[in-house]
């Protein structure tokens, strides 16, 4: 059993004599104690122990189990992975079973054998450790289908896991996000993870004139209009067996929305000028930077179509909201462009890295890519500075932020994560240099990265 960074066990017992006895019998564990629901919640939020033993009968009425069930519910709400072992009276098996059905790990009837309880706690600790390691590995490893997406941001990693989960289904996915946030990269990753045999076909609804968009999407029969010299399949047919991405669907003309809705309902199309219904098996992914609900209110987008395309909605955060991603991507882009232009290794100056971190990047990843490409061309030597990127030098004044969060553990963890990601970004992933920036030893930094699930 590896050493824990905090208490392994919280003992909740209102009988102080029995509380001491339980703690003494479990002296090989690092424990904290509580005698009522409020103090138990306070101790749990402070120390976050992986295992809790608790009596269902707690003050103000030890003969009632309502306080115990309330505490169990609050513990599981705070941390669904906590292992709660319920201690009950000899004739209280029904309440013990109810506690297990609510999510408790196990139960013991008093009086209990300390050795058996200790063995159960050992198993619970080992399970908690394995689950924590599994979560850490899931956070570190993105699915291969999304290898084109680089990120360290927890929210983007969550989106990657969401894309991987829905890929095997045929649900229509709606990707929402500002221009340049990587909607097409996610759509391609969704297609690759789906293992569909057909190809990925993308069409930008805003880039094609309204008069041509219908024939582009649905195809046309020979002679359907002037210039239709032969029967031509549309983009939807071309994607048969694969994935169709409708980019900027918010710009789809209102007249075409009804025809698209029919296709999504029936999975059949009719070419322009044709009468035959053609079945099509295609996964549809839609994307837009516009607020579709506002467009619905203004009668510019059909509400029934929205609910068809929004079976799974993915909100993609802008680059400025992703922790550490701007610098991470900048390093990757600079390596790519230096190789393309055969310039040899290029590196960012400290001022340039701080400027990249501080910039709002209203154009998101696309703007960052263009800025780094410009810098790789304009840099005279091997060092890329602020002028090469086209950004002002950052102010010497530090930026402070306030938050409504008062849980010191949460605030400290968020600050540690931000500091570690910033240091790793500035040093391009060099752990030794990052540890020097953070004024900690390398083993300490490795421990921090392990605890915060940072690769």
Task: Tell me the pLDDT tens digit for each residue of 106-155.
Answer: 988 888 888 899 999 999 999 988 888 877 766 554 445 566 678 888 88
Least confident interval from 16-25, 173-182, 286-295, 400-409:
400-409
pTM above 0.95, yes or no: no
pLDDT at site 318: 94
What is the distance between the alpha carbons of residues 229 and 245, in angstroms, rounded to a whole number? Answer: 27
**Residue 68: CATH number of its domain:** 3.40.50.2300
Task: Compute CA 36 distance to the chain's CA centroid, rounded to the nearest angstrom.
Answer: 36
What is the distance between the alpha carbons of residues 35 and 76, in angstroms, rounded to a whole number? Answer: 19
**End of a domain among 138, 161, 196?**
138
Same structural domain, 330 and 396? yes
**End of a domain among 317, 337, 354?**
317
pLDDT at site 177: 93
pLDDT at site 142: 45
pLDDT at site 5: 55
**Residue 388: CATH number of its domain:** 1.10.8.60
Q: Rounded to whole angstroms, what are the CA distances from 332 to 114, 233, 317, 415, 435? A: 56, 39, 20, 25, 21
pLDDT at site 3: 41
pLDDT mean over 243-254:
94
Is pLDDT at 357 greater than 60 in this prediction?
yes
pLDDT at site 397: 36
pLDDT at site 291: 93
Q: Which residues contact 367 (CB under 8 A, 6 or more apart)?
A: 180, 361
pLDDT at site 110: 83
Q: Which residues contact 366 (CB under 8 A, 6 or more apart)?
A: 179, 180
Residue 351's domain spans which residues?
321-451
What digits encode the pLDDT tens for the residues 49-83?
Answer: 999 999 888 877 766 778 888 899 889 888 888 99
What digits encode the pLDDT tens for the residues 221-239?
Answer: 988 888 888 989 999 999 9
Residue 184 in domain: yes
Same structural domain, 19 and 82? yes
Nearest CA among 367, 358, 368 for reference residue 329: 368
What digits encode the pLDDT tens for the residues 395-424?
Answer: 643 444 444 555 777 778 888 888 888 888
Give the chain's mean pLDDT: 86
**End of a domain among 111, 138, 165?**
138
Residue 1 in domain: no
Residue 2 in domain: no
**Of residues 346 and 60, more confidently modeled:** 346
Residue 3 in domain: no
């Amino acid at each position: 059993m590896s050493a824990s960074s905090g208490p392994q066990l919280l003992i909740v017992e209102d009988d102080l004599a029995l509380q001491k006895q339980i703690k003494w019998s479990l002296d090989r564990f690092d424990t904290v104690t509580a005698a009522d629901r409020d103090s138990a919640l306070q101790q749990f939020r402070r120390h976050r122990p992986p295992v809790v033993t608790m009596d269902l009968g707690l003050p103000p009425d030890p003969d009632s189990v309502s306080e115990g069930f309330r505490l169990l519910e609050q513990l599981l709400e705070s941390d669904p992975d906590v292992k709660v072992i319920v201690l009950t009276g000899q004739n209280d098996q029904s309440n013990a079973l109810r506690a297990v059905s609510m999510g408790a790990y196990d139960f013991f009837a008093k009086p209990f054998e300390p050795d058996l309880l200790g063995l159960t706690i050992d198993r619970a600790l080992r399970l908690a450790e394995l689950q924590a390691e599994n979560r850490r590995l899931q956070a570190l490893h993105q699915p291969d289908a999304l290898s084109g997406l680089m990120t360290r941001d927890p929210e983007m990693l969550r989106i990657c896991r969401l894309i991987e989960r829905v890929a095997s289904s045929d649900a229509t996915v709606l990707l929402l996000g500002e221009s340049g946030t990587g909607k097409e990269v996610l759509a391609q990753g969704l297609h690759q993870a789906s293992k569909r045999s057909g190809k990925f076909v993308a069409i930008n609804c805003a880039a094609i004139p309204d008069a041509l968009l219908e024939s582009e999407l649905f195809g046309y029969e020979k002679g359907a209009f002037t210039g239709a010299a032969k029967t031509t399949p549309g983009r939807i047919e071309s994607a048969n067996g694969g994935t169709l991405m409708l980019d900027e669907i918010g710009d789809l003309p209102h007249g075409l929305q009804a025809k698209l809705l029919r296709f999504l309902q029936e999975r059949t199309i009719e070419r322009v000028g044709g009468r035959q219904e053609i079945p099509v098996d295609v996964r549809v992914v839609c994307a837009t930077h516009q607020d579709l609900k506002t467009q619905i209110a203004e009668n510019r987008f059909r509400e029934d179509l929205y609910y068809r395309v929004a079976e799974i909605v993915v909100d993609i955060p802008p680059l400025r909201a992703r922790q550490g991603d701007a610098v991470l991507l900048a390093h990757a882009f600079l390596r790519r462009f230096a190789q393309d232009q055969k310039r040899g290794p290029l590196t960012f100056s400290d001022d340039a890295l701080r400027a990249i971190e501080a910039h709002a990047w209203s154009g998101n990843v696309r703007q960052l890519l263009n800025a780094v490409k410009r810098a790789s061309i304009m840099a005279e030597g091997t060092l890329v500075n602020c002028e090469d990127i086209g950004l002002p030098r950052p102010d010497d004044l530090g930026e402070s932020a306030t938050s409504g969060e008062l849980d010191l553990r949460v605030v400290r963890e968020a600050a540690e994560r931000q500091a570690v990601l910033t240091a790793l970004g500035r040093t391009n992933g060099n752990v030794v240099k990052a540890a020097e920036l953070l004024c900690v030893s390398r083993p300490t930094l490795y421990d921090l990265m392990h605890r915060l699930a940072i690769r």
